Amino acid sequence: MKVNFDEIVERQGTYSAKWMGTGGSSLDYRNPAVKLPFQVADMDLACPEPIVQAMHRVADHRIFGYSVRTEEYTEAFITWYRRRYGLELKGEWILPSHGSMSAVNAAVSTFTNVGDGVIICRPVYGHFTGCIEEELYRRVVNVQLINRDGYYEMDWDAFEAACARPENRAFILCSPANPVGRVWTKEELARMCEITRRNHVLLVSDEVHCDILMAGQHHTPILQATDAWDNLIMVTGINKTFNVAGLACANAVIPDDNLRGIFSKEFGHGLLSPFSIAALISAYTECDEWLDQLRSYIEGNIDAAIAFLREHMPKVKVRKPEGTYILWLDFSAYGLSAEEIHRRIYEEARVLLQDGTVHDPDRGGQFQRMCVPCARAVLLEGLRRMAKEFEA
């Protein structure tokens, strides 16, 4: 069945973090009084009907007690990875978690100490910094990605040097990369695995964006990049893929017995909400076709946004991402201060993006992050508003 992703779903009055403070109904998106939000990485698109039905079934039970994962959950997870990625997992490797950031946080907190260095490669999802510094009192060790005309690559010498320092104990990888849109190749991933392992650095691979890829792209789960798994934790979730972030359902996958034993002792009992359990089972068994259609719609949005920008805001530099539904927009050619770029977009155009400094505090001032998984008409309205403020 063809899914109608052009449908505009009301999000006002649904506790949506993204639509808080936007001043009106999502259906009223043409009204300039309503701010248009593209800042939060969740979708304004209805989630798949089988998941909605699964939520109804859970609600109809009328009791929402402590819930544990079943064999069906584990099987759904394993068969999804077998079917979509050709990766064979074992049930005991899978550890459910309330969202992917809690699994990342638990991994770093379990295997490093206060004051240790944790490597990240900026520009990268800003919450990694918050997690390392504010939640865990570790130190961010940034290995800046190299920007080659909007295509971001690892600085291997700097990465090797950072891993070699004994006080740097973990590396958080964003794969695919938010906000720069890279889908790391198997060769790049294998090299990260080799360097970290040789230097006794834990590699935590946050793969929440792995299912949203452009046509022709292939995501390699970190466990497929090597068969030496004793420093690897893969974190994955249904949150982004199926637009169920509010259910906070993610999983850490840890094949190494020793690593997993230590992690699970620290991490606790792995209870999930019954809604999360039912959603994951449905997502991983009934929603392949929906996801394939979603991917084409998102790619259509990305192409439409880039075409619009090339025509109406040609000074904005943007490269089509390989994966994710995120655009990383470079406004530097306008020659404006970061504050002025912000003012024009957020106050004049009344469009909410995310300042680049969230993901790259030192060099992100001229960048803005824009999440595009919404009805195309809303996306184009947001872009039109921006163009008016920059090209008038």
Ligand X SMILES: Cc1ncc(COP(=O)(O)O)c(C=O)c1O
Binding site for ligand X (CB under 6 A): 41, 99-101, 125, 174, 178, 206, 208, 237, 239, 245, 250
Cα–Cα distance, 390 to 381 (Å, whole number): 15
Q: CA-to-CA distance for 124 and 131, rounded, in angstroms?
A: 13
Residue with smaller CB distance to ligand X, 206 or 330: 206
The answer to whether 239 and 79 are in contact (CB under 8 A) is no
CB of 198 vs ligand X, minimal distance in Å: 26
Cα 119 from chain centroid? 18
Nearer to ligand X, 100 or 226 (CB): 100
In DSSP terms, 37 is beta-bridged to 352
Please state whether the peptide bond connecting residue 361 to the residue before it is cis, i.e. omega within 30 degrees of 0.
Answer: no
Nearest residue (CB) to ligand X, 34 versus 106: 106
In whole angstroms, how close is the CB of 335 to ligand X at the nearest point? 30
Beta carbon of residue 99, minimum distance to ligand X (angstroms, whole number): 3
β-bridge mates for residue 151, sequence order: 148
- Residue of 8, 2, 1 whose CA lies nearest to 45: 8
Q: Considering the complex, state which of residue 101 and residue 287 has its C-beta at the smaller distance from ligand X.
A: 101
Angstrom distance (rounded) from CA 246 to CA 265: 26
Specify the residue for token string 């994955």: 236
| Residue 183 C-beta: closest distance to ligand X, Å | 13
- Cβ proximity to ligand X: between 125 and 242 the closer is 125
Q: Which amino acid is at 360?
A: D
Report the C-alpha dihedral over residues 27, 28, 29, 33, rounded to 10 degrees: -150
The secondary element (H helix, E strand) that includes residue 339 is: helix 338-342
Cis peptide before 314 (omega within 30 of 0): no
For the bound state, the minimum distance from the C-beta of residue 174 to ligand X, rounded and expressed in Å, comes to 5
For residues 106 and 195, which CB has a smaller minimum distance to ligand X in the complex? 106
Kindly tell me which of 26 and 236 has the beta carbon lying closer to ligand X.
236
CB of residue 101 to ligand X, shortest distance in Å? 3
Measured from each CB, the residue nearest to ligand X is 99
Residues in the chain: 392
Minimum separation from the CB atom of position 60 to ligand X (A):
27
Supply the DSSP symbol for 235: E
